[in-house]
Structure 1
Amino acid sequence: MAVVESVLARVPEPLRSVLIKHRELLKFAIVGGTTFLVDNGVWYLLKLTVLSTKPTTAKAIAIIIATIVSYILNREWSFRTRGGRERAHEAALFFLISGVAVVVNLIPLLASRYVFDLERPHVSLFVQETADFISGSVIGMLLAMVFRFWGLRKWVFPDELGRRHRDSELAGAPRA
């Protein structure tokens, strides 16, 4: 039994129907949760060690690593029945959308640090780290997630291409 099916088996029926209807979104959210952990783990590892004076750079590196993980998981799991482009073209579109999402993700952190001066010595270390987490890992990530889901469904893994490939597989034609 697949991960999603085992989770859905434990969910009460009224909610289960909604989740099944939005299975792709559920998988995207699970991938997002996984990449959230990767992103924040790498960010704090870098930010608290080698890039302690460059939190935005540390966040950008963490986002890039999480984006690579995201591409693999989304391609092979969340949107596996969609798309159908040549992998290099698809990957280029994915990383283009994700590059824009990196900028979207960094805007709240940049504003927190450099517009609102929520950094030391203007505020305590606790306030700085709380502001960094809320702006970079909550607000920024939520904005980027909404943009990514929309962009990936629309341009990277469009259903029209996936439908064509599913139809050709059903007809017995080899998949390109």
Structure 2
Amino acid sequence: MAVVETVLAHVPAPVRALLVRHRELLKFAIVGGTTFLVDNGIWYLLKLTVLEAKPTTAKGIAIIVAMVVSYVLNREWSFRTRGGRERYHEAALFFLISGCALVVNLIPLYASRYVLDLQQPNVSLLVQETADFVSGSIVGMLLAMLFRFWGLRKWVFPDELGQRRNEVEEEPEPALTGDRA
């Protein structure tokens, strides 16, 4: 039994029906939670060490690493019944949408640091770090997540291509024979 079925077996029936109906969004949110941890782990590692003076650059690098993880998880799990394009075309569209989402994600952090000037010495270290977290990891990530969910469903993994992908996966492989016509 798969992990999802095991979890769903322990959920009350009304909630289970809701989760099943919105399973794609739920899977997308789980992938998002995973990449949130990857993103923030790398961001703080870089921001508190080698890129201390460049928090926006550190966040950009962290987002790019999380983007790669997101592509693999979304393609193979969240949207596995969608898509159907050739892999390189799908990947190019994914990274184009994710690149736009990266810009959306960085805008609140950039505004917090350089427009509102919420950085030392103008504010305390606690205020700076709180503002960075709220603007970069909450506001920016939520805005980017909404944009990415919309863009991935619309352009990268559209449903009409998913129907074709399912049909191709269900077709039996032709038998190999020694006879040639």
TM-score band, normalised by shorter chain: over 0.9
The TM-score, its normalising length taken from structure 1, stands at: 0.95
Q: Per-residue displacement from partner, 1:54-111 (whole Å, max 9, x unpaired)?
A: 0000000000000000000001111111100000000000000000000000010011
Q: Which runs of 5+ in 1 are unaligned?
A: none
Partner of 2:31: 31
Detail structure 1 runs of 4+ shifted over 3 Å in the superposition: 168-174
Report what 1:40 is aligned to: 40
> In the TM superposition, what is the alpha-carbon distance from 1:168 to its structure 2 partner?
4.0
Match of 1:75 in 2: 75
Q: Tell me, in whole angstroms, the C-alpha distance in 2 between the residues paired with 1:63 and 1:170.
A: 36
Percent sequence identity is 78
CA distance in 2, matches of 1:47, 1:171: 50
CA distance in 2, matches of 1:5, 1:106: 37
Segment drifting more, 46-55 vs 5-14: 5-14
Tell me the C-alpha RMSD between the 2 structures: 1.3
Superposed, 1:72-111 pairs within 5 Å as 72-111=72-111
SS of corresponding position for 1:84: coil
Contact 1:4 1:27 in 2 (8 A): no
Stretches of structure 2 lacking an aligned partner (at least 5 in a row): 175-181
1: CA distance, partners of 2:142 / 2:71: 17
Query: Cα 1:168–1:87, aligned 2, differ >3 Å: closer, same or farther?
Result: closer
What residue identity is the alignment partner of 1:161?
Answer: L
Q: What amino acid is aligned across from residue 140 of structure 1 in structure 2?
A: G
Query: Is the alpha carbon distance of 1:166 and 1:173 closer, same or farther for their aligned partners in structure 2, counting shifts above 3 Å?
Result: farther
Q: Which residue of 2 aligns with 1:128?
A: 128
Find the residue that maps to 1:81 and give its secondary structure. Answer: coil
